[in-house]
Amino acid sequence: MNRVLAVLAAFFLAVLLVSAQRAGLLPALSENPAVQETKKEQPKPPSELKIPPEEVKRANPVKATAESIAAGKHTFGTQCAMCHGETGDGKGDLAVELKLKTKDCTDPATLKERTDGELFYILTKGHGYMPGQEGRMKDDQKWNLVNYVRSFAKKPEAEKPKQ
């Protein structure tokens, strides 16, 4: 089982590295380092995200049960944590290494204005340097991820009663 997980992790890391190289975040492996030094190309900034109105209104058909959140946690740990951090704070090892700015989902304000439908759409289509999961993940997996990511946000402390 551990060997299978190691092989899968290596595969996904290779896919991520190739994607990062194609996006201009990493130099080509076959290029001469002297040539790399002279190149001043910067990666293109992420385009503005335009989510269709029907996707914004899309309801999450998967209840945020303990089972759904546990399934989302598993998927997040294997697919998302390298950039988004184990706790969803946006400080994953790969994001830090590549100097990517990912959102801190532990801050309630980060997702406050986003509907579940918007999060599902972003997971499906991708945004910026994050690849979409269309064709890679089943819809239930993405909805479980939405439920899990929602669980990151720290609950605001109840206001203390005035005395």
91 & 50 share domain:
yes
Structural domains counted in the chain:
2
Q: Look at residue 159 in the predicted model and tell me its pLDDT.
A: 45
In a domain, 14, yes or no: yes
53 & 38 share domain:
no
Tens digit of each residue's pLDDT, the chain (163 residues)? 666 555 556 556 666 665 666 666 655 544 545 444 444 444 555 567 899 999 999 999 999 999 999 999 999 999 999 999 999 999 999 999 989 889 999 999 999 999 999 999 999 999 988 999 999 999 999 999 999 999 998 665 554 455 5
117 & 148 share domain:
yes
Whole-model pTM over 0.85: no
Q: Look at residue 42 in the predicted model and tell me its pLDDT.
A: 43
24 & 57 share domain:
no
The CATH number of the domain holding residue 84 is 1.10.760.10
* Burial degree of 154 (CB within 10 A; 0-12, 13-18, 19+): exposed
25 & 85 share domain:
no
> Residue 143 and residue 45: Cα distance in Å, rounded?
28
DSSP symbols for 97-150: HTT-----TTSHHHHHT--HHHHHHHHHHEETTEEP-BTTB-HHHHHHHHHHHH
**Domain membership of residue 121 as a residue range:** 46-156
40 & 51 share domain:
no
In a domain, 161, yes or no: no
